[in-house]
């Protein structure tokens, strides 16, 4: 049998300015994150959500025009050894965002997770 190698890459955020694409690396809290949803209010106000870690925990990142930063979110079940993920984000402004996803409860059931960021 041949050897198999696992190759993991960090996510990249890409932005189109009307002429060309540019990319930036999101904040990398674990090196194992996945970003699934994005909401952009301006070139300097972008939000992305997903999950991070081998045992998935919710993840939210904010782009301020020059750098990504991680913004705290709540896991549906922080004690779970299962999945806590955010899949989509939307809002009317950076101070009024909603994000949705799912988590596993203590019994192993997948439940809906909804979070609201204000301020």
- Model confidence over 51-75: pLDDT tens digits? 988 778 899 999 999 889 999 888 8
Contacts of 9 (CB under 8 A, 6+ apart): none
- Retrieve residue 63's tokens: 């782009």
Distance CA 37, CA 26 (A): 13
Q: What pLDDT score does 38 carry? A: 93
Q: What is the pTM of this model?
A: 0.81
Taking the domains of the chain in order of start, what are their residue ranges? 32-118
First to last CA, the chain: 56
């Amino acid at each position: 049998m041949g050897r198999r190698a696992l190759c993991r890459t960090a996510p990249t955020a890409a932005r189109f300015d009307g002429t060309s694409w540019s990319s930036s690396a999101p904040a990398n809290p674990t090196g194992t994150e996945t970003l699934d949803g994005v909401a952009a209010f301006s070139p300097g106000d972008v939000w992305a959500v997903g999950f991070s870690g081998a045992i998935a925990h919710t993840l939210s990142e904010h782009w301020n025009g020059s750098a990504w930063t991680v913004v705290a979110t709540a896991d549906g079940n922080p004690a779970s050894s299962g999945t806590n993920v955010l899949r989509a984000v939307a809002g009317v402004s950076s101070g009024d965002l909603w994000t949705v996803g799912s988590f596993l409860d203590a019994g192993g059931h997948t439940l809906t997770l909804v979070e609201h960021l204000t301020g």
